[in-house]
A = this chain, B = another copy of it.
Amino acid sequence: MSNQILPVFPADAGCCAPMVREPLAEDDAAELARMFKALSDPVRLRLLSLIASHESGQACVCDLTGPFDVSQPTISHHLKVLREAGLVGSERRGTWVYYWVIPTALNRLSGLLQTPAQMSIPTGSGA
């Protein structure tokens, strides 16, 4: 055991232990599954990426409808799902609602999925 290689994670792996380090508790799994469910739709993923990559760090809903072939109410529904999952925040300012990503939420999911650089796929040879 003295030569055991320990996984190395970058310092900013997020707030939560990567799942390669320890199994998820039942309560955590339920909460995290809800967040991943919000990411399980292509339009929501693109909306989140548009908000996340917006120059100012926040996007007006008026910036978010153009790129999609879906109606404004559908976009609003998807934004509500992202907000209720805790992935984005929003605020009305005058005519428009503005959205921004919640970095701690994204980093929590990112950290959970992180695997150590030297982790490799086992090569099968009996067990």
Residue of B with least CB distance to A44? B33
Say yes or no: A45 contacts B24, CB within 8 Å: yes
A102 in the interface, Cβ–Cβ < 8 Å?
yes
Within 8 A of B (CB), among A19-58: 19-24, 26, 29-30, 32-34, 36-37, 39-46, 48-50, 52-53, 56-58
Number of copies: 2
**Bound Cα distance from A19 to B124, whole angstroms:** 35
Partner-B contacts on A (CB < 8 A): 10, 12, 18-24, 26, 29-30, 32-34, 36-37, 39-46, 48-50, 52-53, 56-58, 60, 67, 89, 91, 93-94, 96, 98, 100-103, 106-107, 109-115, 117, 119-122, 124, 126-127
